[in-house]
């Protein structure tokens, strides 16, 4: 919100009143103090540069004077200058909220017109969260562009793998889907997991990542990738966060069969104690318990024994 730079154009009478207008009060409610321009003041050569600088930097504009750029009391020179500044805002695609004698739009698609300032203030108040979101998106996209970072899922994945939460936050604020996939079809959560980025896994989950999304390459969920990487901490974290332990990969592997295959006693314990079934068969017709027995992995057998259905022996 600190990037929002509001300009409020008021008539001389409104300025002389000395109290915030209803639309100004909405801004003050959100701790925004707008730049005030008196529409009655003459724009001469000495002030032209200052006006240009101001109109070139604002991000949002409120025109509380319904006579702005249409007043018959101003000289043609002054009206031309006011219209010029409206054109500058239009070219910069700055959102403009204006009181007008009618609610039709007399200028361009970026001006929203209201018959009274009260009606405008109601809309401003109701839409302020979306205005903040839109401005944050615009600022974040600009920051990525200035750093030469493409706004793509592949680039997002790259910065997740690099464990760079600052840049990743820019992607999120700029509007990227937290469940986007890289060019290989790997969900961002799997990217973080495969690279052992625990902080990024937590960050992605906090921002709505699907914990059970499946990659297109191996057909693994994030927790299966954690098991495959022998990452005990990430496995425990994803279990705690509610990962599905009954999922079968596209190769027909259960998560416990995968854990037995990599030979991790600790991971087998975490999975079994949290509900992973040691008797689920894989595509070869073998269960995790049976593999542990077959390959004489006695420690794992002793762990799985407690959860093994005895009538299957």
Along the 313 residues of the chain, how does pLDDT read in single tens digits?
457 899 999 998 989 988 888 999 999 998 999 999 998 888 888 889 999 999 999 999 999 998 887 777 778 888 888 888 988 998 888 999 999 865 555 555 678 889 899 999 999 999 998 998 988 998 999 999 999 999 999 999 999 999 999 999 999 999 999 999 999 999 999 999 999 999 999 999 999 999 999 999 989 999 999 999 999 999 999 999 999 999 999 889 999 999 999 999 999 999 999 999 999 999 899 999 999 999 999 999 999 999 998 654 4
Other C-beta atoms closer than 10 Å to the C-beta of 147 total: 9
d(CA 46, CA 24): 28
Secondary-structure percent of the chain, ordered helix, strand, coil, rounded to 5: 50, 10, 40
Sequence ranges of the domains in the chain: 6-131, 245-313
d(CA 160, CA 204): 9
Token match 């022996």: residue?
313
| Residues 6-131, CATH architecture | 3-Layer(aba) Sandwich (3.40)
| Residues 245-313, CATH architecture | Alpha Horseshoe (1.25)
């Amino acid at each position: 919100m600190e990037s929002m730079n509001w300009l409020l154009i008021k008539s001389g009478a409104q300025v002389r009143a000395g109290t915030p207008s209803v639309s100004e009060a909405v801004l003050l409610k959100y701790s925004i103090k707008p730049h005030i321009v008196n529409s009655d003041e003459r724009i001469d050569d000495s002030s032209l540069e200052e006006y240009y600088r101001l109109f070139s930097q604002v991000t949002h504009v409120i025109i509380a004077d319904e006579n702005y750029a249409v007043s018959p009391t101003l000289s043609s020179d002054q009206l031309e200058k006011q219209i010029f500044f409206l054109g500058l805002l239009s070219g910069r695609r700055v959102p403009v909220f204006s009181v007008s004698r009618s609610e039709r739009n007399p200028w361009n698609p970026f001006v929203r017109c209201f018959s009274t300032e009260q009606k405008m203030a109601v809309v401003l108040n109701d839409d302020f969260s979306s205005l903040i979101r839109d401005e944050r998106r615009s600022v974040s996209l600009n920051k990525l562009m200035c750093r030469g970072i493409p706004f793509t899922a592949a680039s997002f994945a790259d910065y997740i793998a690099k464990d760079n939460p600052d840049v990743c936050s820019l992607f999120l604020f700029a509007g990227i889907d937290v469940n986007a996939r890289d060019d290989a079809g790997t969900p961002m959560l799997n990217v973080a997991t495969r690279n052992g980025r625990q902080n990024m896994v937590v960050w992605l989950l906090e921002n709505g990542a699907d914990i059970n999304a499946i990659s297109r390459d191996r057909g693994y969920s994030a927790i299966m990738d954690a098991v495959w990487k022998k990452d005990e901490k990430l496995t425990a974290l994803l279990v705690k966060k509610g990962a599905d332990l009954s999922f079968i990969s596209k190769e027909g592997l259960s998560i416990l069969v995968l854990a037995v295959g990599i030979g991790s006693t600790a991971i087998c314990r975490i999975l079994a104690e949290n509900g992973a079934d040691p008797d689920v068969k894989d595509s070869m017709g073998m269960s995790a318990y049976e593999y542990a027995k077959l390959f004489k992995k006695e420690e794992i057998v002793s762990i799985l024994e407690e959860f093994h259905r005895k009538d299957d022996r």
